[in-house]
A and B are shown apart, each in its own frame.
Chain A
């Protein structure tokens, strides 16, 4: 039910990877979104290691109540003002997903509010559109778990291109482990900073684009080999010295060129000149810069958001969930399960024309 000012309010719970996020959003009578709170707590593993599902799930369970309380305090609203509780159904890591779903179910039963299950990728896309105002862009969704080029057509977000193996963020995260770079605040962020000191040489890495799809595991393998070579004092293929910074620079230049290329191909295919970048890797300013150059050449522009909305957060789940809720969608308690595999194009997008 809309409140006295015609607003609808939703609380969203996200925990498909190492970020636990809870946020509260309001849609006013005109449909505009207002962020009331956006709280996040990240599970950071030591350098050289990744986040394991078991530990991450434990982290989410341990912090759920604290983060939820903080989100309510920041929003300054009473529980009774909420219309629904939204949670991530997938895709993501099983353990962390189910931990957060248990939390969301508990809130739903405790406060007597309906549940709304949300596709994580659709959450990213809708949040990006709401924040940037991009009406109908080609979307590049790049994160630790996903790499997709998406365009909207007839009630679905269609996947035009995607990774054939690991996600681009996974490639960066694992290379950060190889170099034993800190995971705080995020491995990708630290690679980006280190890459700024590199750039004297561009080493030779494989380049794997197939139509609108791409592949990253071979590139990671070669980058790991070069890192091992560097540690033993070896030289590059042309006898040059190189540093971790040069490796980070090379990796970024190569994989981002691939992403921009497949995005450009999708834009040419659907005849669009707007591009929206979402997902954690979307924070990377070099990627935004390259995408901007490509879009400018096509007479268009790039839309990107900052870390508050790019990196996994609860507010995007609340926003996408509320959009669905407004069209009459609810997830019954018995059906409020999670799934590790949940394609973006499985969601029926009733709220768009």
Chain B
């Protein structure tokens, strides 16, 4: 949610009714995806930042179908967020929702996406001869972050939710408050922060090993293509995940199957 603002005061697209409310801060368009748009504004009081997720009507869709889908998707996303929040999975808090109006207001998560943190970390370190990488460069903070990701994934799956679109762009690094959780020596790094999962637009409630394994597989693939240099560190995510809940080890066994077949489907005519 910390991307560069795409538009300033002049809105490029029609806004949902909530953002035309003079009481809220001028909305800032943060991102535009295929599904909807993300704005930054304030909620209730001027210093409480919030994210408004807006799913505009799709002109190509039959209006009845459009309303039905928007409503169902927003309320399913809200239910998932509520469930996560109740069970202590780090996700943005849900402030308000108008499913028929196509928008929801969420807690604004400060901090960079994990993708940016890892890239900054790798960027500051020269590409070394990989055979001696471990000896030359201390990667403890990266290993530590990988473990935190694994733990958060485990917490998510334990509550019976699969994210459906896990990438390092859909995880934020919420800065630690002063003195909290710092590494020994007290030196902060770009990898510091609590991992917070965002964007539950494709999330579903499921407890099956298969769905959970696919969720991990999607992240594994996204991680390898986004951070090829750090690919070897993904195992720490899985190791930490395996310790989080009772069924986690069997999910990891299933993951091996999923890797073998990929998402590929043999085409029948």
Contacts and interface: CB of A to CB of B under 8 A. Distances in A.
B269 A297 contact: no
A52 interface: no
A276 interface: no
Contacts of A261: 34, 58
A207 B266 contact: no
Interface stretch (A4-12, A185-193, A221-229, A339-347): A339-347
How many chain B residues sit at the interface, stated as a range, is 20 to 34
Secondary structure call for the B interface: loop
Secondary structure call for the A interface: mixed
B61 A257 contact: yes
Contacts of A291: 60
Contact of B269 (A17, A264, A267, A293): A17
Contact of B267 (A146, A207, A289): A146
Interface string B229-269: 00000000000000000000000000000000001111111
A268 B266 contact: no
Given A257-B60, A268-B34, A343-B264, A207 B269 contact: no
A294 interface: yes
Interface in A227-272: 253-254, 257, 260-261, 264-265, 267-269
A340 B62 CA distance: 37
A123 interface: no
Contacts, number: 67
Given A211-B164, A211-B202, A264-B34, A340 B268 contact: yes
B10 to A, nearest CB: 18
B82 interface: no
Nearest to B266: A341
Contacts of B58: 257, 261, 294
Interface in B4-51: 33-35
B69 A16 contact: no
A265 to B, nearest CB: 4
Interface of B: 33-35, 58-62, 64-65, 68-69, 164-165, 202, 263-269
